Amino acid sequence: MTTDYRRLRVALLGAGAVGSQVASLLRQHADELADRAGARLELVGIAVRDLDAPRETEFPRELLTTDAEQLILGADIVIELMGGIEPAREYLLQAIGAGADVVTANKALLATHGPEIFDAADRVGAQVYYEAAAAGAIPIIRPLRDSLAGDRVVRIMGIVNGTTNYILDRMDTEGAEFGDVLADAQALGYAEADPTADVEGYDAAQKAAILASLAFHTAVPLDAVHREGITHIDKAMMDAARRAGQVIKLLAICERLPESADGAAGESISVRVYPALVSREHPLATVHGANNAVFVQAEAAGDLMFYGAGAGGVQTASAVLGDVVSAARRHIAGGVGVGESTRANLPVVPIGRVITSYQITLEVDDEPGVLATVAGILSEGRVSIATLEQTVVADAASGGTARIVIGTHTAREQDLSDTVDRLAASGVVERVVSVLRVEGD
């Protein structure tokens, strides 16, 4: 192990949960990394905002600097783990301009300014590595960009947010309510004090935009991603799902559609995040706790699934270091980087045009003719009934209420949503208990 390797200067921006692990592993495994990269990866500095903030792992104080721009200037590889849009964006563009390859785990930045950063890299033949930005430690970027490059991805269904999977899994296994599990998750550090980014699906939407861009060779703007969170999922919905052999998961879905956005010839895509019913027989149903998984359907390869830890400092550091080794190999080998292909540039359809199946749960007056009225409204709305189950929830003495659970055949979202509005306004429906999409069948 005494090979006299060329040295590559590695600059690290950020020393938080992931950054401090990256710094630690870079030093701890220096010899092995050198053998694998074909270059000695010399950590030349770590840019931080506060030199005196407490760190999760130990490293020499003299590596710390507050002058990120100076640090970037002398680096061969720049690792950006600061998070946020600015100044991360500015620093990445500077690094690329200065001839460095860049590694980032910044999903918010890539989901909003990806095309700008990829274009900048393309112009100088640099490469942007971001394995850690989509599903933490799970290798999904390389499989999509390289392994499936000769195939056509049809559909991705991902559990890409650990916090919400943790919450939904505990609601499922313990029969607990959302609020209680969330509070517990916050106490245990699985959820942030302000959980909005996770529970409202913002984090998953960023990852969906990144995955869809890559899979469909299309620049997907974040605001084209339909997003719904899980705060309305309650114990009753979970229990009903369990009884039906299903589980509710927050899914990031990226789908290739055979027709274009305006109904004309040509393909389009849909990118959406929402909680959905998934059969317990589906591989995604077996993803427990804070784990993530990305289920990919491709024309030739068929069904693939990638499973692992979606977050965590040291787990995400593994993905970052894999990228650093790739960047180093490229530096040594020479040649230009593989750019992000947006050549297909398919239109992203609005949610109203998405076709899937649904489960509608209604509370209705328990009177003769109600079922016929409900069925009639569905039929007029072009929503075809696949399964229907009616149960009495309160007898005539207490008002006469029945519960109807309808499983639909595939329908167009706009038709479904209009139909549910008409059901709610029909006079026979006391309450629309829930409307959930059914995915993965």
270 marked as binding residue: no
17 marked as binding residue: yes
CB of 415 to a copy of itself, least distance (A): 32
User: Closest CB to a copy of itself among 217 and 412?
Assistant: 217
CB of 174 to a copy of itself, least distance (A): 17
- Do the Cβ atoms of 63 and 22 come closer than 8 Å? no
Q: Which residues pair with 391 in a beta bridge?
A: 403
16 marked as binding residue: yes
- Do the Cβ atoms of 220 and 244 come closer than 8 Å? no
CA 264 to chain centre: 29
User: Closest CB to a copy of itself among 32 and 90?
Assistant: 32
432 marked as binding residue: no
User: Closest CB to a copy of itself among 105 and 222?
Assistant: 105
Tokens of residue 308, six digits: 């692992």
263 marked as binding residue: no
Instruction: State the CB neighbour count (10 A cutoff) for residue 12.
Output: 31
CB of 255 to a copy of itself, least distance (A): 18
Tokens of residue 349, six digits: 């359809």
User: Closest CB to a copy of itself among 292 and 408?
Assistant: 292
- Do the Cβ atoms of 74 and 8 come closer than 8 Å? no
Report the interface residues with a copy of itself, using CB under 8 A. Answer: 1, 21, 25, 29, 32-33, 35-37, 131, 137-139, 142-143, 146-152, 217, 283, 286, 298-309, 312, 314-315, 317-326, 329-330, 333-338, 341, 343-344
State whether residue 95 is helix, strand or coil: helix
* Backbone φ, ψ for residue 391 (5° rounding): -135, 150
Instruction: State the CB neighbour count (10 A cutoff) for residue 91.
Output: 23
Of 312, 313, 428, which Cα lies nearest the Cα of 371?
428
CB of 95 to a copy of itself, least distance (A): 19
User: Closest CB to a copy of itself among 312 and 400?
Assistant: 312
Tokens of residue 158, six digits: 């991902």
14 marked as binding residue: yes
- Do the Cβ atoms of 278 and 251 come closer than 8 Å? yes
> CA angle at residue 259 from 255 to 260, to 5 degrees?
90
From the candidates 89, 113, 155, 207, give the one annotated as an active-site residue: 207
Of 339, 341, 342, 343, which Cα lies nearest the Cα of 101?
339
> CA angle at residue 324 from 323 to 330, to 5 degrees?
90
CB of 41 to a copy of itself, least distance (A): 9
416 marked as binding residue: no
CB of 331 to a copy of itself, least distance (A): 10
**235 tagged catalytic:** no
State whether residue 109 is helix, strand or coil: helix
User: Closest CB to a copy of itself among 201 and 440?
Assistant: 440
Task: Give the annotated binding-site residues for NADPH.
Answer: 107
Please enumerate, by residue number, every residue annotated as part of a binding site for NADP(+).
13-20
Which residues are annotated as part of the binding site?
13-20, 107, 192
Binding residues for L-homoserine: 192
Catalytically active residues are 207
